[in-house]
Amino acid sequence: MTSRRSKPHTSEVENVVSDQKGSLTWGRTGVASVFLNIQCISIVFFSPMLVLLLHVAIFQFGGSISDTVRVFFIDMSRNFLHEYLSSPWKFLSWTVVKYFVVWVLFQAFLYMFVPGRIANGAPTPAGHILKYRVNGFQCWLVTMITAITAVKLGWIDATIIADNWSGLLICANLYGFALTLFCYFKALLFPSHPEDRKFSGYTLYDIHMGVELNPRIGEMFDFKLFHNGRPGIVGWSFINLSFAFAQPELSNSMILVNILQAIYSIDYLCNEEWYLKTIDIAHDHFGFYLAWGDSVWLPFMYTLQAQWLSKNPVHLTTLEMFLILALGVSGYIIFRVSNNQKDEFRKKNGNVELFGKPAKYIEAEYQTSDGKIHKSKLLVSGFWGLSRHFNYLGDLMLSLSYCLPCGFSSPIPYFYIAFMVVLLVHRCFRDETRCYGKYGKDWIRYCNTVPYRIIPYIF
Ligand code: NDP
């Protein structure tokens, strides 16, 4: 990441777009290639393997990556891994399947019936403005009350998730793959909004990146908002809690990880309306990337720290606790304030004050596929004047603060920050391509006004 590379010029943005054979695309690219297909097959194959590898490393090899890799790739005859791959059913009982099904159905029930505000999503490329019931925090609260009651009455143990983790990994994978295929065939046979579908001409690419933008059942059951927010983000805090209860003696590092990650997940659920305007909901289509990602990657990879600490407790000094908390809270403040600035700015059509001064912006135009021209504004002051994705910097600081409580004896807990760097940097480029496709020359004016991508003066 050099400062030279991070200053985009007109030609640089145009190069990104010319990779798509000159077609300006708004939304997911409609152009794929053999290379992209190979990339998709690799992701579909290697992502579940990676989740399994880290799972085995934590629970069978004391967090040793080298031992796990040796057994994984060289000595396939060794116990757990061999058993897992050759007879996964051994780890799966009807009881675990029942827990998983009850969990998903309970979340679906809450999503549909717990009262919440009805909010509008961003206009889709075909010009639809979809309605969403935003009741995330209420659903989290009902889930928490139900879980506490169930534990108090002795119906379940607080460690129920941790105790059945291997079986749940299989259930989640089966669910994630089934959901991916269901959504692909739904897109072909009974799409919710046919004009917002994208076909690339390559089946595998379409299965991976999704065809439908906003698959739904009926008017209100939105697959994307449900799967990311409910089993995914709601599940995150409950998984962490279960691993905290599974620790023989609760450590202060486990408490810190639980607090920092709960701040993030509860923040998401309280600000669900804001989430409707983010790339995940507004632009990404629903394929393996989101369906399997929300079902498996999010619950199993975002909770690596709590899983790891349940087996390898770390006791932090007061100073270490304070420094990590300070990093996490500063990251959260940057994340929340920058996201709020853009949200308020867009809601009030630019009539807001940021840090005591009227917001500055660039007027931009775009066209929907029905031929209509729309006007939009791109904010260039407040945190959005420092870099084009200052909100990602906050997220990265917060992500690092989740990993540090685990100490430095293993790289496994740091997988999360490495993943977030790759995810958010890649997302930056993806967003730039999309926004250039949407706003054209106005986007270039914006890039010239705010030249840095994430970290001012560096990248
Ligand atoms: P942004 O919230 O930055 O949204 C980008 C979109 O906002 C653009 O596509 C464009 O959409 C609009 N936009 C871009 N620049 C401006 C501007 N200057 N003024 C007004 N609107 C602008 O990105 P994400 O949706 O990726 O991220 C949202 C948050 O979620 C971030 O804080 C990120 O860190 C977090 N996140 C966390 C993840 C995790 O797994 N933990 C994963 C992904 C995101 P339009 O078409 O409306 O103009």
Instruction: Break the chain into its structural domains and give their ranges.
Output: 1-31+317-459, 91-315
Residue to substitute in 290, 336, 389 for testing ligand 1 pocket (most ligand atoms within 8 angstroms of CB): 389
For ligand 1, is residue 55 a contact (CB within 6 Å)? no
Calpha distance 165→39 (Å, rounded): 29
pLDDT above 70 as % of the chain: 89
Provide the pLDDT for residue 16. Answer: 34
Among 265, 250, 98, 239, smallest CA distance to 160 is for 239
Is pLDDT at 13 greater than 50 in this prediction?
no
- Residue whose C-alpha is closest to residue 297's, from 231, 207, 247, 242: 231
From the CB of 279, is ligand 1 less than 6 Å away? Answer: yes
For ligand 1, say whether the CB of 335 is within 6 Å of any of its atoms.
yes
Question: Does ligand 1 have an atom closer than 6 angstroms to the CB of 343?
Answer: no
Pick the residue whose CA is nearest to atom 9 on ligand 1: 431
The tens digit of pLDDT for each residue in 294-309 reads 999 999 999 999 999 9
If you search the block for the tokens 């061999």, which residue do you land on?
82
Candidate of 277, 435, 447, 452 to mutate for ligand 1, largest count of ligand atoms within 8 Å of Cβ: 435
In this prediction, residue 33 carries a pLDDT of 78
Name the residue with the closest Cα to ligand 1, atom 20: 378
In the three-class reduction of DSSP (H, G, I as helix; E, B as strand; rest coil), residue 271 is classed as coil
Q: What is the pLDDT of residue 222?
A: 96
- Closest-lying ligand 1 atom to the alpha carbon of residue 439: 48
Question: Does 339 contact ligand 1 (Cβ within 6 A)?
Answer: yes
Asked whether residue 98 carries a pLDDT value surpassing 60, the answer given is yes
Query: 165 Cβ partners below 8 Å, 6+ apart?
Result: 55, 59, 307
Dist. CA 340 → ligand 1 center (Å): 11
| Cα–Cα separations (whole angstroms), residue 139 to 108, 230, 243, 292, 295 | 10, 8, 21, 22, 18
Amino acid of residue 454: I
Tell whether ligand 1 has an atom less than 6 A from the beta carbon of residue 295.
Answer: no
pTM: 0.87
> How far is residue 180's CA from residue 201's CA, in Å, rounded to a whole number?
18
For the chain, give the mean pLDDT: 89
pLDDT-based confidence at residue 80 (cuts at 50, 70, 90)? low
Are 433 and 16 spatial neighbours (Cβ–Cβ below 8 Å)? yes
pLDDT of residue 230: 87
Q: Across 126-171, where does the E strand assignment appear? A: 131-134
